Amino acid sequence: MTLPKVLTIAGSDSGGGAGIQADLKTFQELDTYGLSVITAITAQNTVGVQAVHPVSLNGLNDQLESVFTDIKVDAVKTGMLVSADYIQSISTYIRDYNVNKLVIDPVLGSTSGSELTKNEAIDELKNSLWPLATVVTPNLIEAARMLGWASINTVSEMEKAVYQLHEWGAKSILLKGGHLPGGESVDLLYDGHTLTHFPMKRIDQPHTHGTGCTLASAIAAGLAKGNSIHDAVSMAKDFVTCAIREGFSIGEGSGPLNHSAYRHRQ
């Protein structure tokens, strides 16, 4: 018996809702084998990020070397990438080991406002890692920041943005509409040929910490299992929607999703 192997390269969230912890829970729920390379340790809870401790560049490279020299991973998902030199290193391994299923969640900051990837790293992300991606999954704030726009507030602005982001060389872009004003959360997938809308009635739920990490990890798991980009995204949307519906409180602030909700769905 064997399982598809999915690697997350991301930060640790001590509160367990986002980052590496959300990624590994998602991989497990989707019957894949999860591996992790940790870029940073965040001291974090439901209220916010209290501290960020990046692992050393040597520490990052040692983990990448250990995984890639021994294990043939089927897909990789990236999250918090810290800084330009970390992104350079990660891109080299992705290229040298011919990873052809790569999901980039371009995490720039936490919802609570802490910087998780340095602003100066955006150019490196665009130039070295982005062109290797199967899917990149920015939210509206990340997309606007990377494009140098003030904001993205409507579906027609989202359409313009997704076309422009696709020009940077990724196979496809999934622009997430979780932060769209109004009663719908629409995500747009563009693969260079077809634009697909994934509309979803907004779930009235304060406990949504880690939705972006969970969605990107579910896409990576779907790709690792051999699904097309469209089918992997569609399954991942169902996965995250079930998990958001059953989000729950564990502290004073925004709680996590229930990663087992998809498994228990009717």
Ligand X SMILES: Cc1ncc(COP(=O)(O)O)c(N)n1
Instruction: Decide which of ligand X, ligand ATP, none touches 177; Cβ closer than 5 to 8 Å per partner kind.
Output: ligand ATP
Instruction: Decide which of ligand ATP, ligand X, none touches 32; Cβ closer than 5 to 8 Å per partner kind.
Output: none
Which residues make Cβ contacts (< 8 Å) with residue 261, sequence separation at least 6?
A: 242, 243, 245, 246
145-204: which residues touch ligand X (CB under 6 A)?
none
| In the complex, least distance from residue 174 CB atom to ligand X, rounded to whole angstroms | 16
Selected binder of ligand X within 26, 78, 110, 241 (CB under 6 A): 110
The answer to whether residue 77 forms part of the interface with ligand X (CB under 6 A) is no
Instruction: Decide which of ligand X, ligand ATP, none touches 42; Cβ closer than 5 to 8 Å per partner kind.
Output: ligand X
The alpha carbon dihedral of 87, 90, 95, 101 has a sign of: negative
Q: Nearest Cα to 254, choosing from 48, 109, 19?
A: 48
Instruction: Decide which of ligand ATP, ligand X, none touches 240; Cβ closer than 5 to 8 Å per partner kind.
Output: ligand ATP
242: annotated active-site residue: no
Given the rule CB under 6 A, which residues bind ligand ATP?
A: 18, 111, 139, 176-179, 185, 187, 200, 202-203, 205, 208, 210-213, 215, 237, 240-241, 244
Rounded CA separation 128/176 (Å): 22
Secondary structure of residue 266 in the 3-state scheme: coil
134: annotated active-site residue: no
C-beta atoms surrounding 226 within 10 Å? 11
The answer to whether residue 111 forms part of the interface with ligand X (CB under 6 A) is yes
Please answer whether residues 176 and 216 qualify as being in contact, where contact means their C-beta atoms are separated by less than 8 angstroms: no
Please answer whether residues 47 and 251 qualify as being in contact, where contact means their C-beta atoms are separated by less than 8 angstroms: yes
Please answer whether residues 112 and 121 qualify as being in contact, where contact means their C-beta atoms are separated by less than 8 angstroms: no
The answer to whether residue 117 forms part of the interface with ligand X (CB under 6 A) is no
| In the complex, least distance from residue 116 CB atom to ligand X, rounded to whole angstroms | 6
Selected binder of ligand X within 7, 18, 60, 161 (CB under 6 A): 18
The answer to whether residue 13 forms part of the interface with ligand X (CB under 6 A) is yes
Q: In terms of CB distance, is 25 or 209 closer to ligand X?
A: 209
| In the complex, least distance from residue 226 CB atom to ligand X, rounded to whole angstroms | 27
Determine phi and psi for 196, rounding to 5 degrees.
-115, 130
In the chain, the amino acid numbered 181 is P
Count CA atoms within 13 Å of residue 125 on its CB side.
26
Determine phi and psi for 32, rounding to 5 degrees.
-125, 165
Instruction: Decide which of ligand ATP, ligand X, none touches 218; Cβ closer than 5 to 8 Å per partner kind.
Output: none
DSSP annotation of 74:
S
Binding-site ranges for ligand X (CB under 6 A) = 10-11, 13, 18-19, 42, 44, 79-80, 107, 110-111, 116, 209-210, 212-213
- Active-site positions read 176, 208, 210-213
